[in-house]
């Protein structure tokens, strides 16, 4: 289930080459199931931290094999939209988003 129009990218091969701009991203398992919908004001900084520190020892996010990303000036709003869309489609939020609180109106 791909959530963004961006092509599916292999995590470690491509994560270090993302641009330092605001965006949302979706992390996927080996079977391409979405496990996390994230947002950041600097994709490069966030992805570099994930790669260098193995997702800050977050076991849920360590299942990541693929990702998609989308550049946007309003990443927090777009994250909420994507989580709402995912929840409407599946009845749940992505597995790793259960660990954080996201304001959904």
Segment 14-32, tens digit of pLDDT: 998 899 999 999 999 999 9
Name residues whose C-beta falls within 8 Å of residue 77's C-beta, 6 or more positions apart in sequence.
none
Structural domain count of the chain: 1
> Would you say residue 21 lies in a domain?
yes
pLDDT in tens, 47-90: 999 999 999 889 999 999 999 999 999 999 999 999 999 999 99
Domain CATH code at residue 72: 3.40.1440.10
Q: How confident is the model at residue 105 (pLDDT cuts 50, 70, 90)?
A: very low
Residue 93 confidence (pLDDT): 95
> Would you say residue 68 lies in a domain?
yes
> Would you say residue 105 lies in a domain?
no
> Would you say residue 86 lies in a domain?
yes
Phi and psi, residue 28, nearest 5°: -125, 150
Q: What is the pTM of this model?
A: 0.91
Q: How confident is the model at residue 101 (pLDDT cuts 50, 70, 90)?
A: low
> Would you say residue 35 lies in a domain?
yes
Residue 21 CB neighbours (<10 A): 15
> Would you say residue 55 lies in a domain?
yes
Helix (H) or strand (E) holding 26: strand 23-28
Nearest to 64 by CA among 18, 24, 8: 8
> Would you say residue 2 lies in a domain?
no
| Residue 30 lies in domain | 9-99
């Amino acid at each position: 289930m791909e959530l963004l129009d961006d092509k599916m990218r292999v995590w470690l091969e491509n994560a270090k080459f993302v641009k330092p701009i605001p965006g949302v991203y979706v992390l996927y398992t080996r079977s391409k199931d979405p496990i996390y919908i994230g947002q950041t004001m600097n994709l490069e900084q966030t992805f570099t931290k994930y790669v260098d520190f193995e997702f800050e020892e977050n076991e849920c996010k360590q299942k990541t094999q693929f990702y998609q990303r989308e550049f946007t000036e309003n990443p927090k709003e777009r994250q909420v939209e994507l989580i709402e869309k995912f929840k409407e489609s599946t009845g749940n939020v992505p597995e790793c988003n259960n660990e954080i609180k996201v304001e959904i109106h």
